[in-house]
Chains A and B, each alone.
Chain A
Amino acid sequence: MNGHAILYTGVTLAFWSTILIVGICYTIFDLGFRFDVAWFLTETSPFMWANLGIGLAISLSVVGAAWGIYITGSSIIGGGVKAPRIKTKNLVRYFPYIACILNFSGTTPETIGARNYQAGYSMFGAGLTVGFSNLFCGICVGIVGSGAALADAQNASLFVKILIVEIFGSAIGLFGVIVAILQTSKVKMGD
């Protein structure tokens, strides 16, 4: 096994053994009632979830875009040695994201209200949706773009045909944005 595999198995082992030992301790001391998922979900602040959603949306979209460019770019560099004309046509990026503003005051579930908890969790979900869909969209567009660049280097008329396939790839990201808008449409802001 190489070093990476050892590291990952070690970390996973430590994580699961910690969970196991903590669980056994809770069971032995009859403190199982302290394991309370509802308490965790109501006591943690909705702000945290919303912020995580926003942060993940932006960061994962950026990762997707970067990865796509990396894939396309390496092909353009390779193909551009023999066919320099391809270099400007293929840098299509797709970088949508969604962010909305959550504003409320309150410290107890009654004053925060179920609505705002839902807002926090919805924004977390929406952020994940947008982030991951943009991530894979970016990778997809990158791979297709790389193929387009190399085909374009061979035969200039092929570029537009392959661009159509690239549009399908971009649609993935668009679908993600639409779903996220649907998720956050029910989010009511304020008290």
Chain B
Amino acid sequence: MKYCGICHTDIHVAKGDLGPCVFPCVPGHELAGVVAEVGSKVTKVKVGDKVGVGCMVDSCRDCENCKEGDEQYCLNGNVMTYNGQKKHKGIGGNPKTQTFGGYTKSYTVTEHFCIKLPDNLDLSKAGPLLCAGITMYEPLRVWGATKGKKMTIGIIGVGGLGTMGIKLAKALGHTVVAISRSADKEAMSKEKGADRFVVSTNAEQMAGETKKMDLILNTISANHDCNIYLPLLRKDGTLVQLGAAGQPHQISQIPLMFSRTSLAGSLIGGVKPTEEMIEFCSKHQIYPDVEMVDASGINKAWESLANNKDGVRYVIDIEKSLQNKDFLPAL
């Protein structure tokens, strides 16, 4: 292991927001490192290769969804990189313990879920691509934005996920509209590549974007009123929910009916789409904006994520952390 990105989900899991957290818990599902050893049958990677691991480390590999390359929707349950149960055959170690994640010095993963990273990819910034990157790339891929036809894409929420989405959508050649509750995110959004910026609480600005967007990616994970965004969709458009809020949305079907629009959800992406995304990011040198910390900075990073006003992704420098003997004496 060289680096591990910190994701807001790490905090949700540790706090039990997404179901009980099984302790001890080692979070981290944005792993980036170098292959130190391979099993005798491994062909995908060799010692010395740059590799990453994202949010899943196993799935049944046999159901319809796994075979279609949607391992995240495995009908028998995918195995999460941490706090997951070893349901399928791909993971060694004690079969009864939960999986432990990337806030660690070394990691063993089954070949299929090991993502090979191109040599020209900056390892220190690669981790967040395996979570935030694929989370935003996948709906772009599924809803036609990687096919070449120019679209207008809205990104709601300009935090770590949102800024990743802005960069990807822009690199794909689309018109990008950043949407946020805070007017003070405008400069940053445009600097990341947004063509337009809309304050969601400004009724006049929102009215000006009516029927303008083909696709909207919604990264908000707190409770909110989704209805204000639906009018921004043009006919046949889709609003894709990426963050999970506790409270159900209050949605009337009539606005959906009168424009044939849809509300959908999406979860990370399968292994092949992840590899496609990595290749795209490596080709266009698209990276998250990273702030490096060592292990002693994790608590502070977690606190900062509650209000991520700069859209940064925090990444743990594993090697530096191991050298910090005051903080990690035993390692």
Q: Do A and B bind each other?
A: no
A residues at B contact (CB < 8 Å): none
